[in-house]
């Protein structure tokens, strides 16, 4: 993994050493309203989690676990993006940005930069994302990125979005 320049953002491979900066941005419990996760309990807990993720691989070695912190043009950490890449060239993507950084274009720029990297360096040809259908901001972002509705699970309060990439889809 390496740093990736996007439009107004830079993605840096996520490391345990980013814990303090990242904790300040993602420790707000309100960020987890629509996702199946919770705020890190402490900066130390986040540092330990990030250290485990530095392997960039699932324990069985079948998946790439790719995580980048997102910095804005001023160098501030605004959140993170992540992708789980499988052997069939598919990637499940996700992102979390601090509330102070919402609606500034960072999520789109970071996700677009990540998608380009996934295509170029990992041969990804299928993107997926799963989310709560009440998360209208993320639904709009996925549509803007080109993902389309693939399935709904009303009892579980989840929807899945997919984008099939041809070799020329992302530059």
In tens digits, what is the pLDDT along the chain, a chain of 171 residues?
899 999 999 999 999 999 999 999 999 988 888 888 888 999 999 999 999 999 898 888 899 999 999 999 999 999 999 999 998 999 999 999 999 999 999 999 999 999 999 999 999 999 999 888 889 999 999 999 998 888 788 777 778 888 888 753 444
Q: Residue 25 burial by CB count (10 A; 0-12/13-18/19+): exposed, middle or buried?
A: buried
The pLDDT assigned to 47 comes to 95
Alpha carbon 13 to chain centroid, angstroms:
12
Domain ranges of the chain: 4-125
Report d(CA 22, CA 3) in Å as an integer. Answer: 16
The pLDDT assigned to 167 comes to 57
- Domain 4-125 class? alpha beta
């Amino acid at each position: 993994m390496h740093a990736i320049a996007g439009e107004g953002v830079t993605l840096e491979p996520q490391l345990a050493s980013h814990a303090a900066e990242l904790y300040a941005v993602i420790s707000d419990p309100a960020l987890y309203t629509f996702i199946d996760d919770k705020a890190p309990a402490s900066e130390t807990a986040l540092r330990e989690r990030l250290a485990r993720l530095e392997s960039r691989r699932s324990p069985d070695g079948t998946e790439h676990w790719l995580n980048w912190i997102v910095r804005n043009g001023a160098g501030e950490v605004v959140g993170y993006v992540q992708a789980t890449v499988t052997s069939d060239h598919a990637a499940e993507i996700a992102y979390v940005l601090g509330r102070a950084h919402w609606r500034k274009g960072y999520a789109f720029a970071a996700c677009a930069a990540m998608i380009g990297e996934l295509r170029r360096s990992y041969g990804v040809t299928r993107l997926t994302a799963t989310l709560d259908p009440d998360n209208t901001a993320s639904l709009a972002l996925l549509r803007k990125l080109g993902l389309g509705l693939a399935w709904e699970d009303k009892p579980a309060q989840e929807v899945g979005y997919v984008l099939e990439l041809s070799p020329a889809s992302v530059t």
